[in-house]
Amino acid sequence: MTASARTPAAAPIPVQAPAWFISDLHLTPGMPRTLAAFQRVLDRAAQNARALFILGDFFEFWVGDEETASPFAAGVAAALRQLAEAGVPVYLMHGNRDFLLGRRFAAAAGATLLHDPTVIECAGLRVVLSHGDMLCTDDERYMRFRRWTRRGWVQRLFLMLPLSSRLAVARRLRADSEAGRARQLANADAMPPTYGDATPSAVSALLEASNATALVHGHTHRPARHEHDGRVRWVLTDWDLDGRHPRAAALQLDADGFTVLPQTD
């Protein structure tokens, strides 16, 4: 069975409604408006949500849990812990940029780390959650990179490097990524760049293997609602309040179904 059709190993997680879902915040000290919007969504979630799911690429990059001690990451963890201590469970899933996020940060944040994919049961629906990169199976180059970087021995070797070296690698990769984004945005009217899209057959396989009626994921930066043979797929938006095209939203699931909650004010 391919990774895209992999059945979640654990039983579904029962979740109280309303549940909120966000992804692809790419938090970094260089994006203060985005960070402020994230704090606002936590304040609103404390009043209006019963669970918060962060489905990957929470940070712009993460090179090891030593980063938890940095002032920026410690502040983010403290904000999440405050929400968890207010009675709203916080769940974290790895993305393609922060797959080294580990138990130390999760403990500091009072959060639960999730496998990708994970199935929940909420508001009478069985929903499968994923970051979404595992669904982009037509992008063979990326899938090879994904398989390589998810190998335990590769991660262990990388984590043996000094933190300064790991940060240098991450910054170089980020600089290359930003250069590519700049080229795509050379036209003032250009929209923010997207990633490879999910492959329909991979989406259908994951829904079938999970016996789910809905799929929620991020990664592609193509927010939309799609129908797949009577089942629904919600794609979460990325967050960027510091660029030319402000965008930020949460997706809510309650007894009335799914609702997009814009967070750009």
CATH architecture for segment(s) 13-139+194-262: 4-Layer Sandwich (3.60)
- Provide the pLDDT for residue 150: 83
- Provide the pLDDT for residue 193: 60
Point out the residues of the chain with pLDDT beneath 70. 1-7, 9-10, 174-195
Interstrand relation of 118-122 and 51-55 (parallel, antiparallel or unpaired): unpaired
- How many whole angstroms separate alpha carbon 58 and alpha carbon 50? 20
Distances (CA, A) of 132 to 106, 163, 242, 250: 21, 28, 24, 16
pTM across the whole model: 0.89
Phi, psi of 179 (to 5 degrees): -65, -40
Instruction: Tell me whether residue 260 is exposed, middle or buried, using C-beta atoms within 10 angstroms of its C-beta: 0 to 12, 13 to 18, 19 or more.
Output: middle
3-state SS string for the chain: CCHHHCCCCCCCEEECCCEEEECCCCECCCCHHHHHHHHHHHHHHHHHCCEEEEECCCECCCCCHHHHHCHHHHHHHHHHHHHHHCCCCEEEECCCCCCCCCHHHHHHHCEEEECCCEEEEECCEEEEEECCHHHCCCCHHHHHHHHHHCCHHHHHHHHHCCHHHHHHHHHHHHHHHHHHHHHHCCCCCCCCCCCCCCCHHHHHHHHHHHCCCEEEECCCCCCEEEEECCEEEEECCCCECCCCCCECEEEEEECCEEEEEECCC
- Provide the pLDDT for residue 151: 83
- Provide the pLDDT for residue 163: 82
Phi, psi of 93 (to 5 degrees): -120, 145
Distances (CA, A) of 158 to 24, 45, 166, 241: 23, 36, 7, 32
* Placement of tokens 């959650």 in the chain: 129
- Provide the pLDDT for residue 1: 36
CB atoms within 10 A of CB 76: 23
